Amino acid sequence: MAEFQPPPTWADVILVDETTKSSKFNPVWLKWLLDIVEVLNSSGAGGGGAVAHNSTSGLQGGTTNEFYHMTAAEDTLLSQVVTGTWTPTLTNVTNLTGSTAYQGQYVRIGSKVIASGKVDADPTAAGQVQLGISLPVASNLGAAEDCSGTAVCLTVAGDSAAILGDAANNRAQMEWIAVDLTNQPRYFVFLYDII
């Protein structure tokens, strides 16, 4: 099988004889076109015009079970990517006067989900605060470490929160120590397993 080569752009396609002013197709380009036909025929495109990908091993980046320089397993994983938005249901678990949910976004890749968004939270008193956040894709969390992430309040210096799995309720839980008792926005991101 001929090896696929890039087109010979360094050569003129048509050659003109300066004496006779006659023109002819450049043999360099003719050879390149014949080589392309040979590559396509040996790749399964001979009769019907369709190339079988697993027969393209002579082409750059086209080995068996590679798709756009990915293995078959990587291609399968990429086909499982789902994106979406959701507005979480919030549960004021501990030390909260109120909370507000906003639309968030998520990416699911196979059995992993990455979620991010914003909530407003109004602590009742100084001390530990717990806020439940529903998951964008349901999961049966088995332990706190099946979900983890972080949140930050941009308007209060040093105010950050941990996000962990609430296995009893199959949701994420934002926890922090309140020092500011006003309603403040918190931006979060967390990752969890679909179990």
How are beta strands 171-178 and 127-133 bridged, if at all?
Answer: antiparallel
Q: Among 14-18, 22-26, 70-74, 90-94, where is mean pLDDT lowest?
A: 70-74
Residue 102 has pLDDT above 60, yes or no: yes
Predicted pLDDT of residue 74: 72
Q: Is 86 helix (H, G, I), strand (E, B) or coil?
A: strand
CB-neighbour burial class of residue 113 (10 A; exposed 0-12, middle 13-18, buried 19+): buried
Interatomic CA distance for residues 20 and 70, integer angstroms? 53
**Alpha-carbon gap, residue 139 to 112, rounded angstroms:** 10
pLDDT score for 51: 55
Q: What is the pLDDT of residues 125-172, one digit of tens each?
A: 999 999 999 999 999 999 999 999 999 998 887 788 999 999 999 999
pLDDT, residue 8, reads 82
Q: What is the pLDDT of residue 156?
A: 82
- Is 28 or 46 the better-scoring residue by pLDDT? 28
Closest CA to 83 of 112, 118, 109, 119: 109
Domains delineated in the chain: 14-78 (no CATH), 82-193 (2.60.90.20)
Cα 73 to Cα 116: distance, rounded to the nearest angstrom = 27
Task: Report the chain's mean pLDDT, rounded to a whole number.
Answer: 83
Indicate whether 68 pLDDT > 60: no
- The pLDDT score that the predictor gives to residue 7 is 81
The residue that leads in pLDDT, 37 or 146, is 146
Question: What is the mean predicted confidence (pLDDT) over 46-70?
Answer: 54
